[in-house]
Amino acid sequence: MIRLKGRVIVPGRVEGEALVSAQPLSFYGGVNPETGVVVERGHQLEGLNLTGKILVFPYGKGSTVGSYVLYAMAKRGTAPKAILNRRVEPVVAAGCILGGIPLLDRFNLDPVETLKTGFKVRLSEDGRVEAWP
């Protein structure tokens, strides 16, 4: 069992499968909000679906419109269950706040290096994360 502790930006208690990328992600133009599929050419997650996953990536990039894309995904049911960042930035933070998507950052261990795609992940409202293969 891997245990991490992070700063809570948007609280939530969820469990799901990790989808991990070492690359930053833009939700505006990088993700199809209707399907939840990453469409950014050359991205490590290109062609994969974020819907219902615990999405782990270093930080967001791109336009502020990305906040509204995350919000739209939450309303459509295509959003990740939660997002774990090394360090959150305003675009992802605003989108998660608007969409009610649990969001954590500033972990005691780097989630991008520690967690692997396919791990089962459980988040607590106090910022505790448990993960296992």
Residues 95/66, Cβ–Cβ less than 8 Å: yes
Distances (CA, A) of 26 to 1, 2, 11, 35, 99: 31, 28, 22, 15, 16
User: Which residues are 2's β-sheet partners?
Assistant: 131
What is the Cα–Cα distance from 92 to 56, expressed in whole angstroms? Answer: 12
Residues 5/128, Cβ–Cβ less than 8 Å: yes
Q: What angle do CA 82, 64, 81 make, to 5 degrees?
A: 10
What is the Cα–Cα distance from 23 to 45, expressed in whole angstroms? Answer: 9
Based on the residue annotation, tell me whether 63 is a catalytic residue of this protein: yes
Catalytic residue (choose from 21, 26, 63, 67): 63
- What phi, psi does 107 have (nearest 5°)? -80, 160
Catalytic residue list: 63
